[in-house]
Structure 1
Amino acid sequence: MAGIVNYVKESFGELKNNVTWTPWSEAQSLTILVAVFSIVFSLAIWGVDSVFSKVVSFYFTLING
């Protein structure tokens, strides 16, 4: 159990003293950028999925007559 406690203490010390954190304003702008690109890509995937769905539906309608 002492090993786990020591590991957690050392991890917090590492995060506090040795990690260079991104400035808050940059983190906010990058978060907005990721959110916008996620929305754009999800809309693009939805569009491609809709087109393929209509193509497959049309194909099976042709086959079944």
Structure 2
Amino acid sequence: MQKLKTFILDAYDEMKNKVSWPKYSQLQNSSMLVLIASLIFALIIGAMDYVFQNGMDLFYKEF
């Protein structure tokens, strides 16, 4: 049990004193970048799915 307590205290100390946390403005910029990139990828994948689905519908109508 002592090892667990030591681990938790050491982890807390490292997170508080040794980790360099980003500034709030940097965090906002990074979040916006991730949001925009995710939307772009979603639109690209959605467009590919739409084109593939319509292509397959046309293909199956012929046979």
Q: Given the two structures, how large is their TM-score scaled by the length of structure 1?
A: 0.88
SS in 2 for 1:29: helix
1:2 CA displacement = 2.2
* Residue 56 of structure 1: aligned partner: 56
How many residue pairs match? The answer is: 63
CA RMSD of aligned residues (A): 0.9
Percent of aligned pairs sharing the same letter? 27
Measure the CA separation in 2 of the matches of 1:43 and 1:5: 48
Measure the CA separation in 2 of the matches of 1:24 and 1:5: 31
1:7-36 deviation line (CA, Å, top 9, x unaligned)? 111001001111111111001111011001
Instruction: Write out the 4+ residue segments of structure 1 that deviate beyond 4 Å after TM superposition.
Output: none
Gapped regions of structure 1 (runs ≥ 5): none
